[in-house]
């Protein structure tokens, strides 16, 4: 098993050793971290957290748009750690991450990854 160390910056810097092949939601919850979730397939945004250091693989997520990804948001139910990581959990709720498309339209390159068009140089 490849292990990664996950630090929760806004939980007193608590650290957890997790299996790199499994989603962070599962490996952290199994160690007693209280994390909400809904769909567990990367579609509902309930389990969003913010990555402040390290790299993760979240290719299976479909909830986040490219602006949110650029701002460091990750989807814990599908995210697997590629390196040791530092996270902030529980900082933004579903209510804040939901975006009113009329009030705050996205640029074409900020849309969800499967429909976004590259930013013009």
Query: In the set 16, 18, 24, 46, which binds ligand FES (CB under 6 A)?
Result: 46
**Tokens 């991450």 -> residue:** 97
Question: How far is Cα 30 from Cα 104, in angstroms, rounded to an integer?
Answer: 37
Check binding of 113 to ligand FES (CB under 6 A). no
- β-partners of residue 80 are 57
Distance of closest approach, residue 50 Cβ to ligand FES, in angstroms: 14
> Are the beta carbons of 14 and 29 closer than 8 angstroms?
no
Region binding ligand FES by CB under 6 A among candidate stretches 5-13, 14-22, 44-52, 109-117: 44-52
Q: Which long-range contacts (CB under 8 A, 24 or more apart) does 67-70 make?
A: 67/106, 67/110, 68/97, 69/113, 70/110
Query: In the set 24, 33, 49, 63, which binds ligand FES (CB under 6 A)?
Result: 63
Residues 21-40 within binding reach of ligand FES (CB under 6 A) = 37-40
Q: Which residues bind ligand FES (CB under 6 A)?
A: 37-40, 42-47, 63, 75, 77
């Amino acid at each position: 098993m490849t292990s990664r160390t996950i630090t929760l910056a806004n939980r007193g810097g608590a650290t957890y050793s997790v299996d790199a092949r499994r989603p962070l939601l599962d490996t952290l919850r199994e160690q007693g971290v209280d994390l909400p979730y809904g769909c567990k397939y990367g579609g509902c945004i309930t389990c969003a957290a913010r990555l402040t250091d390290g790299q993760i693989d979240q290719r299976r997520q479909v909830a986040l748009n490219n602006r949110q990804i650029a701002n460091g948001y990750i989807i814990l139910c599908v995210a697997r750690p590629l390196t040791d990581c530092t996270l902030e959990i529980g900082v933004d709720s579903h209510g804040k991450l939901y975006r009113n498309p009329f009030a705050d339209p996205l640029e074409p390159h900020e849309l969800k990854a499967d429909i976004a068009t590259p930013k013009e140089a």
